[in-house]
Amino acid sequence: RGLRPDETLFIVASKTFTTLETMTNAHSARDWLLASCGGDKRAVAKHFVALSTNLDAVEAFGIARENAFAFWDWVGGRYSMDSAIGLSTMIAIGAPAFMEMLAGFHAMDAHFRQAPLERNLPVIMGLLNVWYANFFGAETVAVLPYAQYLKRFPAYLQQLTMESNGKSVRRDGKRVDYATGAVFWGEPGTNGQHSFYQLIHQGTRLIPCDFIAFGEALQPLGRHQDLLLANVIAQAEALAFGKTAAAVKAEGTPAALVPHKVFEGNRPSSLLLADRLTPAALGSLVALYEHSVFTQACVWDINPFDQWGVELGKQLALRVADEIEAPRKRLQHDASTNAAIQWYRHARSAAPAAPAAPAAPRTLVLDVGGSHVKALLQGRREEIKIVSGPDMTPQRMLSALRKALRGARFDRVSMGFPAPVVHGRIVHEPANLGTGWVGFDFEKALACPVRVINDAAMQALGSYAGGRMLFLGLGTGLGSAMIVEGRVEATELAHLPFRKRSYEYYVSDAYREQHKKKWHDNVFEIITLLRKALRPDYVVLGGGNVNHLDDLPKDVRRGDNANAFKGGVRLWEDAA
């Protein structure tokens, strides 16, 4: 889906680092990465991080220990979203919002620990679940959030509640003789009202409901929020008090329809309300259910922190997978299992072979400069460096390049060139190289697609991080480019008049050699002038001479010549 291996970070979240589904995905991601970089396994340590308690397995996979976010082995997976396992969440919402969510967890933790039992929300919720399950025979609990952002919250609670309290053996090893964990399920409330609420209101099963709603909409629109809250409040009232036959008759309902329109009422529900769905509110809500689960487990005398029930299926799956992939193996399961494996063996063999994934095109990036031509083949780490200078022609460059590449395959070429380039064509001969560059047919000479761009623009493209960026390359001369919302434009700011000469003259390498202090001041002055004129969000200084600047002005970033190679690869993004 448009991802590039060289710019992708993989987060492998697995407590044991052995979970079959997770590790299968991790190995597929690793294979994809390695295929793009010529099998260089050192790339794994740079593109993968792990969230795990099994650091030995992490290291064996190829992830450096310093790139592993560890947590305690007693933290169960279903209780771990506020531990290191939440790293991907923190990346998505930002560290401040994640810290706010943790504060919400902590607030509910403190409430559970300190509040008197009669005002302790997790205790009350847990005892109600025990009450309905053990004294009224309720087998399920419906969680009904009136907020679309919580559409997956019931599914999240399914693991928390059912993996924790789905037990039939007490902590002392004896079998229970009473019901334990209920089945949790649910959907956003407005969806449910038009589907399963009928059964909740008038069915033969008692289904306690948890309604969740918020006073303020995250996306306000007209009176939508008022109607949403009216619905949730009305549903709780209808479940509690129902509608008697007398009330139905008083509405003039035909006698034959009266029994069908009676609502018994006295059906339990809890209405959980908060001002706004914030990270803190979400943290408190999750912690509320966590402590409710623990309360129920204490009453039932079961262990909510193990999950032996998931192990048998995992073990058998490994055996079945082996038998599927080795169809000559004799099957020794029951008749039903054998038949299912045999069916899939046949279906698998009859299915057309999946087409091999096309190899990703390999880009050769050339950064042509007045003193050197630098080349890097995508997937390799070592760049090629060829001495250039005033005698360097395109023919000489390509001859030296072929010798240095030693037959290495590439599918396309990006070239950053130190002269004006318009629509991919060099329009002026370069000042510091030989002649013959204008009109030279690089695609014919290299026998592949070639894209040419100004060298500063290529490094700018590799340095770009969004918004409006001004790039200035401090090298032999002054390169410049502007990128606005992803659109790159090479500029020729270097030759604009400044004082008695031009911008380039006063920040060139030759001027720096003679007037080091003045050169430094000139760079800062020119940055100030160009920022006033072009209004960039930030400035990136590239080129070798940026290393002669110890400090940079605010919102000016130090570039890296290696970004030219990244820009060369990005030049083909529209062809992905």
Q: In whole angstroms, how far apart are CA 299 and each of 287, 400, 542?
A: 19, 80, 66
- Distance from C-alpha of 131 to C-alpha of 298, rounded to nearest angstrom: 14
Residue 138 CA to residue 181 CA, distance in Å, equals: 10
> In terms of C-beta density within 10 A (0-12 exposed, 13-18 middle, 19 or more buried), how is residue 177 classed?
exposed
**What's domain 363-571's architecture?**
2-Layer Sandwich (3.30)
Q: In whole angstroms, what is the distance from residue 244 CA to residue 264 CA?
A: 7
* 416 within 8 A of 567, measured Cβ to Cβ: yes
Closest CA to 511 of 544, 479, 476: 476
Question: What is the number of alpha carbons within 13 Å of residue 19 lying toward its C-beta?
Answer: 14
Q: CATH 2.60.120.10: does it fit domain 95-306? A: no
* pLDDT score recorded for residue 354: 64
Q: Judge contact between 282 and 101, C-beta under 8 A.
A: yes
- Provide the residue-wise pLDDT of the chain in tens; the chain has 576 residues: 568 888 899 999 998 888 888 999 999 999 988 888 777 888 899 999 999 989 999 999 999 889 999 888 888 889 999 999 999 999 999 999 999 999 999 999 999 999 999 999 999 999 999 999 999 999 999 999 999 999 999 999 999 999 999 999 999 999 999 999 999 999 998 899 999 999 999 999 999 999 999 999 999 999 999 999 999 999 999 999 999 999 999 999 999 999 999 999 999 999 999 999 999 999 999 999 999 999 999 999 999 999 899 888 888 988 999 899 888 888 999 999 999 999 999 898 887 876 665 667 889 999 998 889 999 998 787 889 999 999 999 999 999 999 999 888 899 999 999 888 988 999 999 988 999 999 999 999 999 999 999 988 998 988 888 788 999 989 888 889 999 887 888 788 888 999 999 999 999 999 999 998 999 999 999 999 999 999 998 999 988 899 999 888 888 998 887 888 989 988 887 654
SS3 label, residue 436: coil
Q: Which of 15, 47, 111, 163 is catalytic?
A: 163
DSSP characters for 336-361? HHHHHHHHHHHHHHHSPPPPPPPPPP
Please give the single-letter amino acid code of residue 42.
Answer: R
| Spatial separation of the C-alpha atoms in residues 443 and 398, rounded to whole Å | 12
Choice among 41, 151, 224, 314 that is catalytic:
314
Rounded distance, CA 292 to CA 302, Å?
A: 14
Which DSSP string do the residues of 471-518 spell out, in sequence order?
Answer: EEEESSSEEEEEEETTEEEEE-GGGSEETTEEHHHHHSHHHHHH-HHH
Residue 358 has a pLDDT of: 61
Give the pLDDT confidence score for residue 490 in this predicted structure: 79
Query: Which residues are paired to 489 by β-bridges?
Result: 482
pLDDT at 359: 66
Cα separation of 436 and 390, whole Å?
A: 12
Query: Residue 507 corresponds to which amino acid?
Result: V
pLDDT at 463: 87
Cα 94 to its chain centre, rounded Å, is 12
CA gyration radius for the chain?
A: 33
Q: Can you name the residues that pair with 470 across neighbouring β-strands? A: 482, 539
The yes-or-no answer on residue 163 being catalytic is: yes
376: left (phi over 0), alpha (psi -120 to 50) or beta: beta
C-alpha angle 282/286/289, rounded to 5°?
Answer: 145
Q: Where are the domains of the chain?
A: 10-70, 95-306, 316-350, 363-571
Tell which residue, 119, 161, 117, has the closest CA to residue 139: 161
Is residue 390 exposed (0-12), middle (13-18) or buried (19+ Cβ within 10 Å)?
A: exposed
The one catalytic residue in 66, 118, 194, 532 is 194
Helix (H, G, I), strand (E, B) or coil at 167: coil
The DSSP result for 526-575, as a single string, is HHHHHHHHH--SEEEEESGGGGG-S---TTEEE--TTHHHHHHHHTTGGG
- Taking residue 490's Cβ as centre, other Cβ atoms within 10 Å add up to 23
User: CATH assignment of 10-70, given 1.20.1440.130, 3.90.1150.200, 3.40.50.10490, 3.30.450.20?
Assistant: 3.40.50.10490
Tokens of 470: 């001004």
What's 39's DSSP letter? T
Instruction: List the beta strands (DSSP E) in 322-458.
Output: 363-368, 372-377, 384-387, 412-417, 421-422, 425-426, 450-454
- 156 vs 143: CA distance, rounded Å: 11
The reply to whether 95-306 shares the fold of 10-70 is yes
Do 482 and 464 touch, CB atoms closer than 8 A? Answer: no
Alpha helices in 242-334 (DSSP H): 245-250, 279-300, 311-325
The 10 Å Cβ neighbour count of residue 569 is 22
Q: Find the DSSP H helices in 136-216.
A: 153-158, 164-165, 189-193, 197-202
Task: Fill in the DSSP letter of residue 66.
Answer: G
491 burial via Cβ count (<10 Å: 0-12, 13-18, 19+)? buried
